[in-house]
Amino acid sequence: MRFSILVAALAILYGCAGPQPASQPPVQSTQTKPASKEMFITFDPAGKSVQAKSFSSGKELLGEIQRLGGPRGKYETDAAFSSRMASFGNFSVGGVVTPSAIKFDRVTGEFSLSVSMRDAQGAGFKSGLDVLKAVNTDYPSFDLGEDIYSRGQYSGQNSFGATAVIEKQKIDRYFLVFSPVPKAPGNIFFYKVSGKLNISAAEMESQRENIRVVFTVKPVPDFVQVAKNYHEPTITSPHESEIDSYFFESRVFWIKVVNIKTGKVYDEEARMSIETI
């Protein structure tokens, strides 16, 4: 039963990811391989050579969207938004790799990577589904980083008279969101990207901060969504924050691990997987 649930979830999540050349019969874009409770994706090899505009970060990706007029306006029609985004096309973007995501095997001397993904709804993404369906649907997403901008300071005081210097800040957060995955009530899915890195210890020491997971993707219609949130300051967390979370919905063609500064590829074919408990 658990195996069939995973197969169904993967078919929905990645079934339309691969490119379909007009001169050839449609190629099944993904295949599933059972590995205990974890299932891995194999993308259509044609996805590796898809032409795409490249962005090094979520900030850079948003900058291009802003150049085309920004996220969809509150009263903007489908036709108007699609028209101004028509030139956007396929793109690739680098996602965050935290220090804990990289593992070193002391026996073999090899480095590997494993980055967990989260349900975008937990970060403020609105699915448009009714409450019951939303609870039983995941929108796997990959963290594209954040930018924090200072807006000055002021002195604050709570109801007990304790004072603190409050820092005002604006935070922009970015997420790449993938196809929705329905699940049976009570099921919990875990999503991740993993790979083996072709990198020496010396290069890891000097280039660790430049390692990114790079996704080549196709945007879906109405692919930009913005969620606004606010953080009120406290004595223990003296920050007054305005938070904008940007969600970019897409379909995956290919994933690799790259040095964002030099362009060197550490894993030509990173893997995406889903696991249930």
Question: Given pLDDT bands bounded at 50, 70 and 90, which one contains residue 187?
Answer: confident
Angle at 90 between CA 113 and CA 181, to 5 degrees: 60
Q: Residue 3 pLDDT > 90, yes or no?
A: no
Question: Given pLDDT bands bounded at 50, 70 and 90, which one contains residue 60?
Answer: very high
User: What is the predicted pLDDT for the residue at 184?
Assistant: 87
User: How far is the CA of 18 from the CAs of 36, 48, 172, in angstroms?
Assistant: 26, 10, 30
Q: Residue 115 pLDDT > 60, yes or no?
A: yes
Q: For residues 216 and 197, what is the distance between their CA atoms, to the nearest angstrom? A: 19
Q: For residues 138 and 117, what is the distance between their CA atoms, to the nearest angstrom? A: 11
Give 73-97 pLDDT, tens digit per residue: 889 998 999 898 888 899 999 999 9
What are 275's two structure tokens? 């696991």
Lowest-confidence region among 20-29, 78-87, 236-245: 20-29
| Amino acid (1-letter code) at residue 43 | F
Q: For residues 270 and 41, what is the distance between their CA atoms, to the nearest angstrom? A: 10
Question: Given pLDDT bands bounded at 50, 70 and 90, which one contains residue 2?
Answer: low
Question: Given pLDDT bands bounded at 50, 70 and 90, which one contains residue 14?
Answer: low
Q: For residues 246 and 257, what is the distance between their CA atoms, to the nearest angstrom? A: 23
User: How far is the CA of 84 from the CAs of 80, 87, 108, in angstroms?
Assistant: 7, 7, 51
Question: Given pLDDT bands bounded at 50, 70 and 90, which one contains residue 250?
Answer: very high
Neighbours of 262 (CB within 10 A): 10
Q: Residue 233 pLDDT > 90, yes or no?
A: no
Backbone angles phi, psi at 131, to 5 degrees: -55, -45
What DSSP assignment string belongs to the chain? -HHHHHHHHHHHHHTT-S---TTSPPPP-EEEEEETTEEEEEE-GGGGG---EEESSHHHHHHHHHHTT-SPPTT--HHHHHHHTTTT-SEEEEE---GGGEEE-TTT--EEEEEEEEEGGGGT------HHHHHTEE-EEEEEEEEEEEEEEEEEE-TTS-EEEEEEEEEEEEEEE---EE--TT--EEEEEEEEE---HHHHHHHGGGEEEEEEEEEEEEEEEEEEEEE---SSS-EEEEEEEEEEEEEEEEEEEEETTT--EEESS-EEEEEE-
Give 146-163 pLDDT, tens digit per residue: 999 999 988 877 767 778
Lowest-confidence region among 8-17, 39-48, 76-85, 91-100: 8-17
What DSSP assignment string belongs to 180-201? -EE--TT--EEEEEEEEE---H
